[in-house]
Amino acid sequence: MDVLDRPYFGLQLIAEPIEALVRKFQVQGPATVQPAITPLLFPSQPYRPGPDSDPMVLWSPTCAPHLTAFMPRIESGDYFVLSYACQTMSLGAMAVRSTCDGAEWPLNEFIAYAEGKRQRIVRTMKDPRWDFWADGAALSFEDVAKYEERLIRKRLARQDVITYAESWGAPIRDAAFWTTAVNAYTFVQRAAGDE
């Protein structure tokens, strides 16, 4: 199954090549974790951590080596990666989440970060009723006319989220996006006494 056809996908992108990001994490990242080389596991990376789950994976896409891509797992603490990259390292970033049509709790979301702060968020979701939310100045590539649709669920759909990610600079429809020409990494818990 194509990653973008999954019932749910979440993707975060950081405007920094993986090797440079890893070096920054070694200096400015949380003291409790350290980077480790890991195999790139797409399209099989699971979303729910478990005892036999593959680790979270960060990689620089073959077709976009200036970026680091990351798919955080559901119900995990993986979200520290984007937080440190944006708030501590002041890197630009983008995050998207999307459910397929017919999901029990539908969600489509695009968030852009710049200069260490959230720049823009656009979201449609049902919990339990449909809601649309946008905050921050619209970005040049947004189709703001769609935000006036009568049906809230049509204001931001999966295809819009994918298009926004591509317009931001992440060619996620390209098969080479899901491969890498350099090492992929994960973060592992630092052992007590490690410096």
What DSSP string describes 92-130? -EEEEEEE-TT-SS-EEEEEEEETTEEEEEEEEEESSSE
Residue 195 resides in a domain: no
Among 6, 141, 10, which residue's Cα sits nearest to residue 69? 10
pLDDT of residue 131: 95
Residue 135 resides in a domain: yes
Q: What is the pTM of this model?
A: 0.88
Residue 66 resides in a domain: yes
Q: What's the domain range around 117?
A: 3-189
pLDDT of residue 1: 46
Residue 143 resides in a domain: yes
- Cα distances (Å, whole numbers) of residue 61 to 34, 74, 129, 169: 21, 22, 37, 12
- Residue 7: CB atoms within 10 A of its CB come to 13
pLDDT of residue 98: 92
Residue 194 resides in a domain: no
Instruction: List, run by run, the mean pLDDT of 10-residue segments along the chain (195 residues).
Output: 80 95 88 84 60 75 96 66 89 92 87 93 93 96 95 94 96 93 86 55
Number of domains making up the chain:
1
pLDDT of residue 103: 80
pLDDT of residue 96: 93
* Dist CA 190 CA 35 (whole Å): 9
> Are the C-beta atoms of 59 and 184 separated by less than 8 Å?
yes
Query: What is the identity of the amino acid at 158?
Result: R
